[in-house]
A and B are shown apart, each in its own frame.
Chain A
Amino acid sequence: MDAPASETEAAKAAPGRARDLAASRRAAARPLGIGALLVVLAVAAALPFFTSGFRLFQFTQVLIYAIALLGLNLLTGYNGQFSLGHGAFYGIGAYTAAIMIDRWDIGYGWTIPAAGVVCLVIGFLFGRPALRLEGLYLALATFSLALAVPQILKYFEHWTGGSQGIVLSKPKAPYGLPLTEDQWLYFLTLGVTVVLFVLARNLLAGRTGRAIVAIRDNHIAAEAMGVDSALYKSVVFGVSAAYTGIAGALSASAIAFVAPDTFDVFLSITLLTGIVIGGFGTISGAIYGALFIQFVPNWAQDISKAAPWAIFGALLILFMYVMPRGIAGFLHLVWIRLTGSGVAREKGR
């Protein structure tokens, strides 16, 4: 009872001067931040010309994971709704794309928004009744969804090809551009990734973003302040599912194959691991997390052929010791120490 009041008093006592200082430091950092972003984009765009084949495919997969993780982070990191079932939306998106391409002969380009819309609707419909569930119970419900989807996919054999799955072909570069299939896929995915990231950032930066975070931190207070918590939560669920569905659709084209067992509970758990390692409630965390879940299992295999997953598990645990708030959280702390921005304004948290 004493502490909060004293804290605000102390904060008020450190007057506008400290705040101005921090603000001016942030303003100075902005061109630095934009510069860094441009460098990253330039490197990303140049990548396909320096790597090829499997390596390039791995990076495409990283981008795909990043989109999925951004979707999951939107729901779990920013809005506080735990989902252990996003593998299901990934799978639904992938199958939507596969069925469109294989059964209905529709171009792969259309599959991306289509998967998004399908998952948006399903996510919203799932989110509505799930509103009453919190924390553990929502995790259980989504966990059940994750378990059920592979079974359902296998059951409707006529549409989905059953356990055998559906084989697709990799899309070729349009307009006769001198790009290999892998390169074209990479650029396509990169484009989609950039668009989705920018959309997410705009969404979270404004009033909507603040409402979303407010619901996570104290939804009763948020409601008391006029935020329609039910509507927001369902919409965020839908948008989050849409992002992950789009990632799934991209992966269908990238891997040129879909099968029910790929989209099992383990995928959902991998995605959750990705956002925690990458950085809960951050946008950049999606990229760090995607890099982790794509490459670290391979490194683990290099270290120990006999028990690679044991190494992976150990790495997971060590990561959590050193960076409990994920890579993005850790980098943020380092940034604060280096620039001395005073009282930490935790990003998005």
Chain B
Amino acid sequence: MPALLEAQDLEAQYGWTKVLHGLSFAVEAGGITTILGANGAGKTTTLRAVCQMVKTGGQVRFDGGRIDGKSTEDIVRLGIAHTPEGRGTFVDLTVEENLRLGAYARRDRSGLAADYAKIYEYFPVLAQRRRQQAGTLSGGEQQMLAVARGLMLRPRLLLLDEPSLGLAPLVVREIFRIVRAINQEEGVSVLLVEQNAAMALDLADHAYLLETGRVVMSGPAADLKKDDAIRRSYLGY
């Protein structure tokens, strides 16, 4: 069965500098895949490349069809939601308006009200702060808002860029718990990019390890967790 998202020899560059040197990876439908790596490995660039936010080479397939060469706005409409690094919150708009924007690109607008209710169930703190200006939310709350905004699209694939960045471990754990619930209950596939290898490997089914723009290791998450080299370099023990 072909994967939901497939990248083949994906390259990417910023200006004159090449950052990704021919990546190949896949996300299975209904699964959670994680891409790990140190700072500067090219993880964020990978997600940006999938959404065509940078100049790319190589092939990217979503649900069998090529998406490299399409515009970001069109890719979003196909059902890929991207929660960017740093959350990308619309800080001057209210929480509710942020969520409304998440649903902007939706093809089918039926059940919108029900979706709001569901989001508020997953993220009760957002319900409380519905009319608050998004910029006044704490870091963890903004991360939840970013994920929620992505979910309002009713996406088939959710791209999560370093959700743990700058957040307390307890908050990160909560967010990861919600992501797992969304994956299992809504069937949303997830491509997670993370520096926090331990938590990511707990969550994911499959993992890739990136080093300076190349995949150096891949396999089931459980296997990578047991690997000695990974333990020493990335898990710290």
Contacts and interface: CB of A to CB of B under 8 A. Distances in A.
A10 B16 CA distance: 10
A10 B39 contact: no
Interface stretch (A1-9, A63-71, A75-83, A90-98): A1-9
B150 interface: no
A10 B18 CA distance: 8
A2 B16 CA distance: 15
Contacts of A2: 19, 39-45
A7 B16 CA distance: 9
Contacts of A10: 17-19
A6 B45 contact: yes
Interface string A1-35: 11101110111000000000000000000000000
A307 interface: no
Contacts of A6: 14, 17, 19, 40-42, 45, 212-213
B126 to A, nearest CB: 26
Chain B interface mostly: loop
- Please report whether the interface of chain A is mostly helix, strand, loop or mixed according to DSSP: helix
A343 interface: yes
Contacts of A5: 39-40
B140 to A, nearest CB: 19
A172 B23 CA distance: 75
Nearest to A11: B17
Interface string B5-45: 00000000011111100000000000000000001111111
B40 A9 contact: yes
A59 to B, nearest CB: 40
A5 B162 CA distance: 16
B39 A1 contact: yes
A3 B19 contact: yes
Contacts of A7: 14-15, 17, 19
A3 B16 contact: no
A336 to B, nearest CB: 11
B30 to A, nearest CB: 28
B85 interface: yes
A75 B38 CA distance: 42
Contacts of B42: 2, 6
A71 B221 CA distance: 63
A2 B15 CA distance: 14
Contacts of A11: 17
Contacts of B41: 2, 6
Contacts of B43: 2
Most chain B Cβ neighbours within 10 Å, of A1, A2, A3, A343: A2
A340 B212 CA distance: 27
A11 B212 CA distance: 13
B88 to A, nearest CB: 13
Nearest to B213: A6
A3 B39 contact: no
Contacts of B212: 6, 9
Contacts of A3: 14, 19, 44-45
B44 A343 contact: no
A-B CB proximity, top 7 nearest: A5-B40, A2-B44, A6-B19, A7-B17, A10-B17, A3-B14, A6-B40
Interface of A: 1-3, 5-7, 9-11, 343
18 contacts: A1-B39, A2-B19, A2-B40, A2-B41, A2-B43, A2-B45, A3-B44, A3-B45, A5-B40, A6-B19, A6-B41, A6-B42, A6-B213, A7-B17, A9-B40, A10-B18, A10-B19, A343-B16
